[in-house]
Amino acid sequence: MAPQRMLVWIMYSALLFALHFQDTTALTKNPHCQNKCGDVIIPYPFGIGEKCYLDERFAVTCNHSTNSANLDFFGSQVFNISDTDVHINVFPVLPLKFNKTSGENSFGYIRVRYGPYFIFPRARNKLVVVACDAYAYIVDSKTKNLTSIPKDISDFTIRVHSINTDKKSWESDDCNAFFIADKEFDGFDKSSNFSNCGKDDIFEYSAPVILEWAVGNTSCKNASKTKGYACRENSDCVDAAGGGAYRCRCKRGYEGNPYIEQGCKGNA
Tell me the pLDDT of the chain (268 aa) as tens digits.
444 433 333 333 333 333 333 344 457 777 789 999 999 999 999 999 989 999 999 999 999 999 999 999 999 999 999 999 999 999 988 877 665 666 555 544 577 777 788 988 767 888 888 877 777 788 877 776 667 555 666 778 887 777 765 555 555 556 778 888 999 998 877 666 676 666 667 778 899 999 999 999 899 999 989 888 999 999 999 998 777 899 999 999 999 999 999 999 987 5
CA 156 to chain centre: 17
Q: List the domain boundaries for the chain.
A: 1-81, 90-212, 217-268
User: What's the order of all strands across the beta sheet hosting 206-213?
Assistant: 47-48, 59-63, 68-71, 76-81, 85-92, 206-213, 118-119
What pTM, to 2 d.p., does this model score? 0.79
C-beta separation of 23 from 255 below 8 A? no
Question: Does domain 217-268 match CATH 2.10.25?
Answer: yes
Question: Distance between CA 74 and CA 213 in Å, rounded?
Answer: 13
176-220 per-position pLDDT tens digit: 788 889 999 988 776 666 766 666 677 788 999 999 999 998 999
Taking a C-beta distance cutoff of 8 angstroms, is the pair 130, 205 a contact? Answer: no
CB 232 within 8 A of CB 258: yes
Which long-range contacts link 189-195 to residues 24+ away (Cβ below 8 Å)? 194/130
CA distances 182 to 71, 101, 175, Å, are 17, 33, 22
